[in-house]
Amino acid sequence: MSPNLPRVATRMGLMAAIAAAAIHSSAGAKSPTVPSLCTRLATQIRHSPGAALKDPNSPSPAWQPWVVSGDSDQPLRYDVYRRIAAAWQSQMGPLVMQGIETLPKADLFMGFAYVGSLHCLSPMFFAGKTGDTLHRLGSPADATSPCAMSDQSDGGLATVLGQPAYIESGSLAPNGTDSSLLVVPWLGTAWGQSCTVSIRVTHQYPVRLQYCGSDPAVCSAARQVAPRLERQYEAYSAEWLEAFNTAMPLPKFRFNGELDAPDRMLVARAQHIARSAAEAHGARAPLLDTILMAFDFFPLRLDHKLYLGAVTGGVNPAETARWFVPSEQYLGEAADKPVPGTLFVVYQAPGAQSHELQPLAVFGMHQQTSGVESIQASDASP
């Protein structure tokens, strides 16, 4: 497993429905329906709503303590390792196996590697106690090839409410905080029927004023539009990522609809000035093109006056913004750790002879989970 992408307990597990055969002397008696593993997991999470508000990619995700990931550091018997390594090499050829994840009490193993720039999981499954009894398993039902760098998904072995399983976790939408778990139980001799649990959350967008120039009215008016800007930019970022991953034409950010000719000239002028500023601070291709792509300019009208707006987001938006707003007066000192979120900058609209962009206000907007909209289990049809 890649040291940069720790296995998170976001991965899920399910259990196949256990048919409790209540045999009565009367003919035609039916067995009571036993809730599936996903249904029981969803019930547990609903009873602890605070857990569902946690970031599913954090060290203590919503699925803990009910979902416990397998161990990729567990020492293996040499005969077990040799059998897995030989099967991997025979099937995968030059692709190097990066690790073996185990569920020791279930005698279940998963050899794995992460493939390509999107860091997609390539697994191989085995069951047995020793090298002599170890046999290769087929892939779990409905398993995919989760890719950490495209949709923040991952897969692996886990126990779910004590049931051995294969799980996959990911977001319901690109860049989203709504999360989904695919669970396929291991029944001891075969994989069971898959199911899913999804958690949808609600958000709030607190706005923090980081800099205000000489006109407080501009700062006040910009603060009013900042939450709407954040929501639109979040939706645009998800759309952009989906287009990028599917090799579709990349969308352009539009805050208030399509641009007319004067608006296009304003944005083009801002991009030209920004490019010159970034080059002056040492940005060279391809970094220059990357940071310009991540810093979106748009015409901004506040109280019937025209300004230039800019927005950037991601893991550390301040580092992108420093190429265009380098002074600590506007952004504060560089943080020791990245501060994810969105930055919103209001500039004086540059004229035809302008050679620099003058910030009038800077806001930091960080999406926060404010509540749970729904926790749902979905069981596949028999």
Digit-coded pLDDT (tens) for 294-330 = 899 999 999 999 999 999 998 788 888 888 886 777 8
Band of the pLDDT at 175, cuts 50, 70, 90?
low
Percent of the chain with pLDDT over 70: 84
The confidence score (pLDDT) of residue 330 equals 85
Whether residue 55 contacts residue 108, with contact meaning beta carbons closer than 8 Å, is answered with no
Q: Is the pLDDT of residue 5 over 80?
A: no
State the amino acid at position 38 in one-letter form. Answer: C
Whether residue 205 contacts residue 224, with contact meaning beta carbons closer than 8 Å, is answered with no
Whether residue 295 contacts residue 278, with contact meaning beta carbons closer than 8 Å, is answered with no
The confidence score (pLDDT) of residue 211 equals 93
**Residue 347: exposure state from Cβ atoms within 10 A (0-12, 13-18, ≥19):** buried
Low-confidence winner among 44-58, 78-92, 101-115, 134-148 (lowest mean pLDDT) = 44-58
Question: CA–CA separation, 351 vs 218, rounded Å?
Answer: 19
Whether residue 344 contacts residue 222, with contact meaning beta carbons closer than 8 Å, is answered with yes
Specify which residues 207 forms β-bridges with.
365
Digit-coded pLDDT (tens) for 17-58 = 222 222 233 334 444 567 889 999 999 888 876 666 665 444
Digit-coded pLDDT (tens) for 112-123 = 999 988 899 999
Digit-coded pLDDT (tens) for 56-88 = 444 445 677 899 999 888 888 999 999 999 999
The tokens describing 3, both together, are: 């040291």
